[in-house]
Chains A and B, each alone.
Chain A
Amino acid sequence: MSDRIFGGIGLILALFYGWQAAIIQESFLTDTVGPKMFPFIIAAMMGLSSVYFLLKPDPEPHWPRAGRLAEIGLAALVLAAYAELLPVAGFLISTAIAAAYLTWRLGSGLIESLIIGVGTSVGIYVIFRLVLGLSLARGPFGF
């Protein structure tokens, strides 16, 4: 079933891609092939393979239970929030929070997670900012 759903999504994606390719605004200066042809070929390839998944799906993969799925979704959200937080709160604080969250979800104890989070953040800061001189995100406090 998963493969069928995947094939369906792939087919929609291919059609959408083809449609987006068709509405590309061509400039008056164009070569004989133009900017649309290659995307059309790609859309066709994607569509054909999607049809294949619809017709001949592989055996069902082993999906995690709903709880674990939520876990992965939440981790992705935390990482996205981290990306947004970086320029606002600075590297040290946001990284400590994100790393603590990840290690907690991967099975560290609560207190231990906080220590690992801060340790990871400070460790990366020392190696990459102080030793190697890379520019990391600066927050209101300058770190």
Chain B
Amino acid sequence: MELLSSLADGFAVALTWQNIGLALLGCFLGTIMGALPGLGPSNGVAILIPLAFTLGLGATPSLILLTSVYYGAMYGGRISSILLNIPGDEPAMMTCLDGYPMAQQGRAGEALALSGVASFVGAFFATWGLVFLAPQLVKVALLFGPAEYFALFALAFATLGGISSTNQAKSAFAAALGLGLAMIGVDTQTGVPRFTFGEVHLYDGIDFLVAIVGLFALSEVFIFLEHRGTDRDISDKPRMKIGKIIPSWKLIRYCTPTMLRTTGLGFLAGVLPGAGASLGSFISYSMEKRLVDRKGTFGKGDPRGVAAPEAGNNAAAGGALVPMLALGVPGSGTTAVLLAVLLALNITPGPLLFSQNPDVVWGLIAALFIGNIMLLAMNIPMVGLFTRVLMVPPRILMPIVAMVSFVGIYGISGSSFDLLVMVGFGVMGWVLRKLDVPLVPVILGTLLGNEMEVNFRRAVNISNGDYWTLVGSPLAITLWAIAIAGFVLPILVGGVIRKRMRMPKDNEGAVTD
């Protein structure tokens, strides 16, 4: 009951005109960003953080805006999957399999409407999951000391590559790079400058927002420059006829068991470290195919094949917020970016967030419920509008993305130096993506590096220089064991899953969740 009253307080926070307006704006922008191939949830949120920050929005309003974008992008990804057979973002990959055939049969409107409903079901129940699970996790997290936190951070890095990661050494390299970048600047504990090469601009360290926007948004511009005029250029794909967009009750009832099952599965995949929305939609689709596909219609335009991955990935998006809010340790790219929002606003994420800033947490959760209903309302009648957005060619879109990124970063610091660093990160992001090095660990490293070091040093200091304290409690040992398993498992079984997920996929692993 205490939970429900907290939730009611949250609604009181969220139901102001400003917050409702921001949620609406976020849902709208998010859906567009999800729908446009080349802009996914993580780079969409990344571009908007500096803006939210410079506009002087408070903590709760900024979070409401940005998580609405996150949820919106999860909805939007399906639009281009269904109409163009190109996933708007990575989690929408599986929706191509049945969505595009349905569109080819002239049932595009039905597929869009059904996937909208499935997205709603997934996200709605996952938000309830968040309400109940996150406070439980907080209770566990309150037992953590510095050594356990250090192990938890290590776990986050070890599992971030995920079960489908291609090369764990590259994830490790990316994590080291990110952590290394975080060390730049004045050491918080002893006040000595590190890796600054005497450059005054570096004394404050590298602003992680600069790194995020450069790595995610600018590198995307370079990828588009590289692929101009090739088959990945979508500007000249044929347009689909949409057809009617009101789903029939019969169809929804037919798909309901599928939606409910995959919601549960997707939520679990979201909560677990290293899984995330892409894997959530993948296992949802595969499980449904095993369970209900008796006539072999999956892959040929079966409506259940559209509902399953959509419910799965939206549920996973909600699930991924659980560790981010309760532990301060994100399990996916976009939640890592959302963590950056909290840090930029000087809010310490983690278990104390629930007791120190309950208005932020519960306001956010309430806003998610509101946003969800808005998204459902937006995505069924207004889906035609969003399909028109898909007609904006990348040659116009990408310069706008680049320029808005500059505006945001310049707004924060007003220094050309930061902009140059951002361009540098853009180029680095492009090279790393070509080499198949994941970018998310780099981001997470720059975000968590200092916090991780602080816990490491605190733990060892408390035990007077005894490094064994890092594995000194059963809880820490458990966390280390999970971390090691999460790092080693993909090497053993990753190949199989990767092969199956590879089917419809873009090579650069561009737009992760």
Contacts and interface: CB of A to CB of B under 8 A. Distances in A.
B423 A79 contact: yes
A64 B232 CA distance: 14
Nearest to A2: B435
Chain B at the A interface: SS class = helix
Given A39-B183, A102-B402, A103-B396, A46 B416 contact: no
A47 to B, nearest CB: 9
Given A45-B176, A61-B435, A135-B414, A83 B419 contact: yes
Nearest to B191: A27
Interface in B193-210: 193-195
Interface stretch (B218-226, B312-320, B367-375): B218-226
Nearest to B188: A35
A95 B406 CA distance: 9
Chain A at the B interface: SS class = helix
Nearest to A117: B399
B180 A68 contact: no
A79 B435 contact: no
A42 B176 contact: yes
A26 B399 contact: no
Q: B interface, how many residues as a size bin?
A: 35 or more
Contacts of B109: none
A34 B190 contact: yes
A136 to B, nearest CB: 6
Contacts of B218: 79
Given A32-B464, A120-B400, A106 B176 contact: no
11 contacts: A26-B190, A37-B456, A52-B169, A68-B225, A72-B222, A79-B402, A95-B406, A99-B403, A102-B398, A124-B400, A128-B51
Closest 3 pairs between A and B when the two form their complex, measured CB to CB: A83-B419, A106-B395, A46-B176
Interface of B: 51, 54-55, 166-167, 169-170, 172-173, 175-177, 179-180, 183, 187, 189-195, 218, 221-222, 224-226, 228-229, 233, 394-396, 398-400, 402-404, 406-407, 410-411, 414, 416, 419-420, 422-423, 426-427, 430, 434-436, 452-453, 456-457, 460-461, 464-465, 507
